[in-house]
Chains A and B, each alone.
Chain A
Amino acid sequence: MPVVMDADRIGRTLTRIAHEIVERNKGVEDLALVGVRTRGVHIARRLARSLREITGQDIPTGALDITLYRDDLMRQAVGPQPLVRRTEIPFSIDSRKILLVDDVLYTGRTTRAALDALIDFGRPKAIQLIVLVDRGHRELPIKADYVGKNLPTAPNESVQVRLQESDGQDEVVVQQEGQ
């Protein structure tokens, strides 16, 4: 089970992304972070901390649950209904630049759902996509603006992002399916 990113690497990567955010947006004016539940939220909170260290400013941070927007909802023949959790966006997204944060970018379907969900909250000035890992195999025309690591994978592999907040440690591992 190869570890492709360890805790140090994840930490450095997120710091680098935070700097890229500041550079690309020429500051953090009008920015807000929205993490896709569950691990996207943890990454968004860490980026908010980094951005505060770099710029001294607090970036509003929210959590988005995309379950009710999934395109496979009500379609799977068997298996339980996905659990719905709370969406918490305690600020207006109108006229803000939204930094949408997820752990892994794969087919792009989660991002599609997240974009639809966000648009229901208002009309942001722009949405930029941040992912810790881009593993390829897109099924929709979606591209990330900030990528922690490009990780070429086979479709039968699975990429697991583990974070301190939810899993007790920071690492990214690649597993063969059924392993």
Chain B
Amino acid sequence: MNTLRRKDLLGIADLSPEEIALVLDTAEAMKEIGSRTVKKVPALRGKTVVNLFFEPSTRTRTSFEIAEKRLSADTLNVAIGTSSVVKGESLADTALNLEAMNPDMIVLRHSSSGACHLLSRICRSAIINAGDGMHEHPTQALLDAYTIREKKKTLSGLKVAIVGDLLHSRVLRSNIHLLTKMGANVWVCGPPTLIPADISRFGVHATSSVDDAVRDADVVMLLRIQLERMEGAYFPSLREYFNVFGMTEARLRGAKPDVMIMHPGPMNRGVEISSEVADGPSSAILDQVSNGVAVRMAVLYLLAGGAEHEAAA
């Protein structure tokens, strides 16, 4: 299979394992481009990509923009602070107005779950989800999978422990879909107040014991404690969170000796992860960032063809 059978990338939930493998394989070829002196190929020459970000983002937006430029697409960033949204324009109207200028793809980040699905129904352009509310963040899960596969050669059979704020995390949802589809053994861990009630329905082990989650793990992935969403008093204090759940070298001793440490960023050092772990030899956190560009290039390339088919049909 050489193509994504879809116009948009809305989430991992509806991707097949073959499609996931195709993105990861294509990303391997894309990664080499980033190591050249001339970091640019003409594949998306003449295509216009709009990066429409309704939430703050450094990593994801920069990563998409670099990926688009390396493929020679024309990119423009719509910064919401200076756009008509502050005058009260709705998401749908903003998107339809942008679309009237005939872009080929729209990369959307929005605080509402399902915002990308809404745009996918009303827009001809390919929609790429760069994070929607508490729903999905598919390119993050793909770059996580790429990083794991690069180090461990496979995803199948690995024990992956995901520790942190499970309730608000779109990264978690995308990762659960992806890792279980690819045959990994997924454990999720956090304070009981931050574990969604129906989580085991997704085929993962849920626990509030970090030691159980980390034991013999091949990969430990930390999730950010989303300080901006903590008004509900889910745990007594950040210090207490770190004491019980924070990833330290001592806690990691239960994991496999070659355990990989991952974090989607931005990190709260001293809350979900200690600096010694974040900067230690097991950390793959900056590899995740590097690989993000290659994975997003792969998604852009594969969907650019898909959108063309759609338009011709």
Contacts and interface: CB of A to CB of B under 8 A. Distances in A.
Contacts of A82: 2
A76 B308 CA distance: 8
B312 A78 contact: yes
Contact of B41 (A69, A75, A83, A122): A69
Interface in B16-64: 25-26, 28-30, 32-33, 36-38, 40-44, 46-47
Contacts of A75: 308
Nearest to A85: B29
A81 B312 contact: no
A20 interface: no
Given A78-B309, A120-B41, A84 B301 contact: yes
Contacts, number: 65
B1 interface: yes
Given A68-B43, A121-B37, A87 B305 contact: no
B167 to A, nearest CB: 37
Instruction: Report, as a range, how many residues of chain B touch the other chain.
Output: 20 to 34
B19 to A, nearest CB: 12
A86 interface: yes
At the interface, is chain A mostly helix, strand, loop or mixed? loop
A81 B29 contact: no
Given A120-B36, A120-B41, A77 B308 contact: yes
A81 B302 contact: yes
Contact of A86 (B29, B304, B305, B309): B29
B126 to A, nearest CB: 12
Interface in A109-134: 116-117, 120-122
A68 B294 CA distance: 14
B243 interface: no
Interface of A: 65, 67-69, 73-88, 116-117, 120-122
Interface of B: 1-3, 25-26, 28-30, 32-33, 36-38, 40-44, 46-47, 71, 298, 301-302, 304-306, 308-309, 312
12 contacts: A68-B41, A69-B42, A69-B43, A74-B305, A74-B308, A79-B309, A81-B302, A83-B2, A84-B298, A85-B29, A120-B40, A120-B41
